[in-house]
Amino acid sequence: MISLTHFCGPILLALAVNVHHSFWSFFIFTFHTSMFPSCYSKPTSSKDLFKRTYLTKILLGVFVVYMSHTCWVIYGFVYTKPCERGKGDCISSYLAERPRLQLSIFSSLRPDHSELNLIIKIDDFDIHSKFERVVNVSLPLATRNNGTLHTLVYVHKFGVSPLQDNRQVHHVAQLSTYMMSRGNLSSAKEVLKKHAATAPREVDRPISHWRSRLTLNMMSEDFTFNRGALPSDVRRYMRVFQDENRMVYLPLLHIDELSVRVKDMMEINGSTTKLPLTISYEGLSLRQFRLWIHMQDVMFSLKRFGFTEVNIDEIKGVLVDNNLYLLALTTLVTAFHFIFEFLAFKNDISFWRKKKNMVGMSRKTVLWRCFSTIVILLKMLEERSSLLGLIPVGIGTTIEVWKVKKVSKIQLQWRTSRSIVHVGKFDESERKTIQHDTQAMKCLSYLVYPLSISGAIFSLVYLRYKNYYSWLINSLVSGIYAFGFLSMAPQLFINFKLKSVGHLQWNVLMYKAVNTFVNDAFTCVFSTHPSHQLGCFRDEILFLLYLYQRRLYSTNKTRCREYGSCHHNHRKLKAQ
């Protein structure tokens, strides 16, 4: 199990690290609220201000210590101190002797040295020359019947059998893996027709798939290690032997699992006797070798956290398909995304908690957001997403339900043995807002409902789903992405009728708008679904419309703002 720092540090240039971003967001929010409390709450006394400033100093100190420790760990990861002759126990490289090597790759049904079938043999193997070969591999009957096939990669002396060479190095990897068949699902009608004659889990039965790529790496650098300061990530790949009075380590061989992508998988069926295998090799420096080891360890850690194969494959695409500078830019953009997301989240809660009346607020928009988050949560549960994704969405869903209770003026009063639901009354201005809201939603229903129903029927007939529940959830999610922007139309209509935008909270809109542009930047790096790109585009259009309304309708000085305070009240306070 990797430590927290080892999980965050090496992956900093490759993955949006949740732990780092959560700490950043919490620190910036606490620093902001402590140094500028009047921006978020009522003026506090000098004693409370001192407490907040003192807390800020403590958090700042903890943050500095944490970042210093992280930088030190990253420095130790990037720079490995070589062993100086005459100082300590040195472990020299076997490759420094320039031995004549041979690369032999076998296939086997078992991950041991039995029943080996030669796939390819490369004589005079040059560790500094990269190559790529395509070979056809024969599949045993057991593999064709949904079995597993392994590969054993040997680097050994030239002209000597790898099983007879005591200085050979080898690694074992799978040439086949189990995953859900992409062609195994039929349309929803066909699935449910066959459901009665099918075993309960047969539809979800994993199928053996062929991994069509095998990428080999070996550290080609003649580095001399210090035995007392040997990195732990290198130690598990190292085999050492005694040569007279010195210690020598054998070549560091590594099979790259990051290059194995879902798009390269090929389904194995009973009639397939041979499948192509692309074998590639590239020598690495010590720094690159350690970096790739840490990246691969992170992928295995994500599986333990509950990430699906599709999620991990997307992360692999970012790591493998992009260069280092783009990864660094992605990490920086991700950090800002999490910061603004947290600030929007916090200000949104503060806004609704202090909201005293619902004048100018669209109840239909709040209801739509609540419905949308519930559907997205059900979609993630249906896809068995990881807890790291489910927990934030679940919290957001809970808050949206609370906002529905707030906008509907529903109060729960607990008595001794039962609870009483009390619904508050709306004043004349609020009832006028509700009329505008209902009028806007009624006009939208003539457009949204027919298109949504026709799209759902089309997907039922022509697209593939496991069951009716999956079809229903996917149809609702598609409708949310396609027509989500129309849910904001009632709020725009209310602003138009009231000729005012003073009832809205603009800092939340600004944070969400910045996040929209961040999401657009992510679509350049991640392979996102077209519906997600459509969602980002419509959010930008909405924000521009809000900006236009804010410019068009000047703030009414006599209207109380969203926190219940008025401009004339502020003038009185300043005069006092």
3-class DSSP assignment, residue 139: coil
| 279 DSSP 8-state letter | E
- Local confidence pLDDT in tens for the 576 residues of the chain: 333 333 333 344 344 333 343 333 333 334 344 333 333 334 445 455 445 566 657 766 776 787 777 677 777 767 888 887 756 688 889 998 889 999 999 999 988 878 889 999 999 899 999 999 999 999 999 988 888 999 999 999 998 999 889 899 999 999 998 877 654 433 433 444 444 444 444 445 788 889 999 999 999 888 889 888 888 888 888 999 988 788 899 999 999 888 888 888 888 888 888 999 999 999 998 888 888 888 888 888 877 776 777 778 877 877 776 666 666 676 677 767 777 777 777 778 888 888 777 787 888 888 888 888 898 888 888 877 766 677 778 888 888 888 888 888 777 666 666 666 666 677 778 888 888 888 888 888 888 888 888 888 888 888 877 788 888 888 888 888 777 666 677 888 888 888 888 777 777 777 777 777 776 666 655 555 555 555 556 667 777 888 888 888 865 555 444 434 444 444 444 444
pTM, 2 dp:
0.60
First to last CA, the chain: 62
Q: What is the side-by-side order of every strand in the sheet holding 246-249?
A: 225-226, 90-93, 246-249, 240-243
Which of 122, 127, 121 lies closest to 99, judged by CA? 127
Q: What is the pLDDT of residue 524?
A: 57
d(CA 105, CA 116): 9
Per-residue tokens: 561: 């703002």
Q: What is the pLDDT of residue 275?
A: 92
Each as own residue / partner, the long-range contacts of residues 114-121 (CB below 8 Å, 24 or more positions apart, any chain) are 116/152, 119/151, 119/277, 119/279, 120/279
439 CB-contact burial (10 Å; exposed 0-12 / middle 13-18 / buried 19+): middle
What is the distance, to the nearest Å, from the Cα of residue 252 to the centroid of all Cα atoms in its chain? Answer: 31
In sequence order, what are the beta bridge partners of 216?
255, 281
Upper half-sphere CA count for residue 89 (Cβ side, 13 Å) = 11
Q: What is the pLDDT of residue 11?
A: 42
d(CA 507, CA 349): 12
Angle formed by the axes of helices 363-382 and 428-462, nearest 10°: 30
DSSP H or E segment with residue 169: strand 169-174
Q: What is the pLDDT of residue 35?
A: 36
